[in-house]
Amino acid sequence: QVLCTSASSRSKKRFLAADAPMVAFPPLFSLRAISSSTVSHRLAVLFPQQQRRAMSEHLRVMEHDLCAPFEQQQAPQGGLVVLNSAFSGTLLRALWDSSVTRVCADGGANRLYDLQPSLTPDAIVGDLDSARNDVQAYYETRGVRLEKIVDQDHNDLDKAIAEIQKIWAATTPEEPKHVAIVGAFGGRFDQEMATFDVVHRWAERWPGVSFRMYGDENVATLLAPSYRHRIRVRPNLEGPHCGLIPVGRKCRDITTHGLKWNLHSEPLEFGKLISTSNLLADDHDHLHPDYTPRADDEDAIKDHPPFSDSHVRFVSVQTSDPIIWTTPLRAITSSRP
C-alpha cells in the first residue's frame, strides 16, 4: 500500500499495489490555493534533476554572442546607446557598425564627437545639461534630433533605451534582439551601478531583448529568468575568467555547463556565495548532456554545434532570478572591414 497524506486534511487515500511497502510522502501542497512557484519549489526539493529537466524543456533559448562585433562581418542589428564615459574609438566603431539604431545619452554625444565626428546618431536624448553647446549645434546641422527630457526620476541611459524602443516600434516590423551600451564601464562607480539598475529594470520591462554592457576591458550582459541562455564565448577576445553575479535580489537556483567550476542548482547571494574568478572549461571537460540543443527548441541555433574549438566555446546558464554574466575583454582590434 502507498499512503498519501495532505498537509491541510486528515483524509487519507490508500492505493493497492502488489507487495508495495508503506511509503509516507512529504506534503506537496494543501487544499488551499497556492502559487505555481511554490509547487515548483517543493517538486524541485523532491525531484530536483527531473523537475529542472522538465522545466528546461519548456524554456526558450536566448543566444548571446557578445564579441561577434569584433571578430566577424555581420548584418547590422540591434541598438546602441553611447554613454559619456571613457572608451576607445576601436570599441565604439565595432559596436556602431554592428547596430541599426544609435542613440547618444546626453553627454555621450561629446564622446562620439571627440572620437568619431563623422558618425551621426539617430537621436541625442536626456537632460542635455552635459552635451556641450558646440556639439549640440554640430549635430543639429547634420539633422540629428535632440530631445530634451527633464525627468529626475530616470537617468539618461533609461531615456535612451526608451528612445530606441520608440524608434523600433515605429520603424521596425520585427524588433532586433539586443541593445548594446558602450561606456558602461570605466567611469564613476556610482554611474556603473546605475547602469546595472537600469538594465535590471528594462530586462523585466522589455522581455526577449538582451542588454549588453561594454567597456574597453569588460563586457557583461543580464541573464533573465524564463530562458535557457546559451553564451558563445570567443577565447581569443574574452576570458578566460568569468563571473556570475546576482542582481536585484538573491538568485535562488542556478545551473551552468561549460565552466571550470559549474553550479548545480545552487543559490547565489551577496554575503554567502557569488561566482567570481570562475574559468571557462577546458576543451574536454565542459560538455554535458543538457548542453545539446533539442530539435524542438524554437530558438535553437542549428549552425552552432555544442562543442568548443580553438576559437569558440559555449556556456549554458539557467537561472531562477536575474544574473549578470561578465568576462574581461582582451585588446580589441576589430577584424571587421
Q: What is the DSSP string of 118-148?
A: T---SEEEE--SSS-HHHHHHHHHTT-EEEE
Nearest partner of 202 among 230, 252, 162, judged by Cα: 162
**How far apart, in whole angstroms, are the C-alpha atoms of residue 197 and residue 162?**
15
Q: What is the mean pLDDT of the chain?
A: 79
d(CA 317, CA 242): 13
Q: Quick check: 296 pLDDT over 50? A: no
Residues 6 or more apart from 95 whose CB is under 8 A from it? 69, 80, 180, 182, 214
Give me the pLDDT at residue 173, please: 66
Distance from C-alpha of 161 to C-alpha of 167, rounded to nearest angstrom = 10
Least confident piece of the model among 82-86, 232-236, 332-336? 332-336
For 149, the grid coordinates are 527630457
Give the Å distances, CA to CA, from 245 to 80, 249, 255, 267. Answer: 24, 10, 13, 11
Is residue 235 a contact partner of residue 311, using CB atoms and an 8 Å limit? yes
Q: Which pLDDT score is estimated for 114? A: 96
Residue with more model confidence, 197 or 173:
197
pLDDT of the residue at 186: 84
Q: How many CA atoms lie less than 13 Å away from 292 in the CB half-sphere?
A: 4
User: Of all residues in the chain, what percent carry a pLDDT higher than 70?
Assistant: 71
Where do we find the cell 559555449? 314
Q: How confident is the model at residue 36 (pLDDT cuts 50, 70, 90)?
A: very low
Within 13 Å of residue 223, how many CA atoms lie on the same side as its CB?
32
pLDDT above 70 for 91 = yes
- For residues 195-224, average pLDDT: 94
The CA–CA distances, whole Å, from 150 to 106, 108, 199 equal 12, 17, 20
**DSSP classification of residue 236:** T
Q: Half-sphere exposure (CA, 13 Å, Cβ side) for 144? A: 26
H/E stretch holding 53 reads helix 48-57
CA 158, CA 156: separation in Å to the nearest integer?
5
pLDDT of 35 above 90: no
pLDDT tier at 57, thresholds 50, 70, 90: low
For 324, the enclosing helix (H) or strand (E) is: strand 323-328
pLDDT surpasses 60 at 311: yes
User: Each residue of 102-127: pLDDT tens digit?
Assistant: 999 999 999 999 999 999 999 999 99
User: Minimum mean pLDDT among 73-82, 162-171, 216-225, 319-328: which range?
Assistant: 73-82
pTM for the predicted model, two decimal places: 0.76
Pairing state between β 313-319 and 227-233? antiparallel
Cell readout for 5 is 497524506
**DSSP one-letter string for 263-292:** -SSEEEBTTTB-EEEEEBPPTTS---GGGS
Task: Give the least confident one: 101-115, 199-213, 289-303.
Answer: 289-303
- Main-chain phi, psi angles of 248, to 5 degrees: 90, -35
Pairing of strands 218-223, 210-214: antiparallel
pLDDT tens profile 13-22: 333 334 444 4
Rounded to whole angstroms, the Cα distance separating 301 from 75 reads 17
pLDDT at 283: 60
pLDDT tier, 11 (very low <50, low <70, confident <90, very high otherwise) = very low
Write out the three cell numbers for 154.
Answer: 530616470
Coil/strand/helix, residue 305 = coil
Q: What percent of the chain has pLDDT over 90?
A: 59
